[in-house]
Amino acid sequence: MISILTEYSARKAEFSRKGPAVGLFADQEIKLIKGQLFVNHPYGLKREICQLSESRRVKSSWSLAEVYDEKTNELVAECILNDSLLKDSYKHYEADAKALCKKLDA
């Protein structure tokens, strides 16, 4: 359930997502820092992309979600998620990649 807690608002973070495409959660690590998390307790989330990588067929991003107790503002848990995209499943991948390279070279 911690993975659901840390991902339920991921779309609000407005990290760039391409699609439609076949994506998958390739790996996940959850670290409880101050004991367990509780139902109906107020928590806040801070989210960041901490790593990007790609291979010939897969593009991956690692995001770190930090969970804070809203009553004490203490860090209580962390979740690292590896979210991957199969390049061949995204129709416009090659055109988008070329456009990005041109933009970076400019």
- Give which of 37, 32, 66 is closest to 50, Cα–Cα: 66
Task: Give per-residue pLDDT as tens, 17-70.
Answer: 666 666 667 788 999 999 899 989 999 999 888 898 888 888 888 889 999 999
pTM for this entry: 0.73
Q: Which domains does the chain have, with CATH numbers?
A: 2-105 (3.10.129.10)
Q: What phi and psi values does residue 47 have, to the nearest 5 degrees?
A: -125, 140
CA angle 53, 66, 100 (to 5 degrees): 30
Contact 18, 96 (CB under 8 A): yes
Task: Give per-residue pLDDT as tens, 85-99.
Answer: 787 787 777 787 777
Residue linked to tokens 């996940």: 28
Question: Which residues face 82 on adjacent strands?
Answer: 27, 62
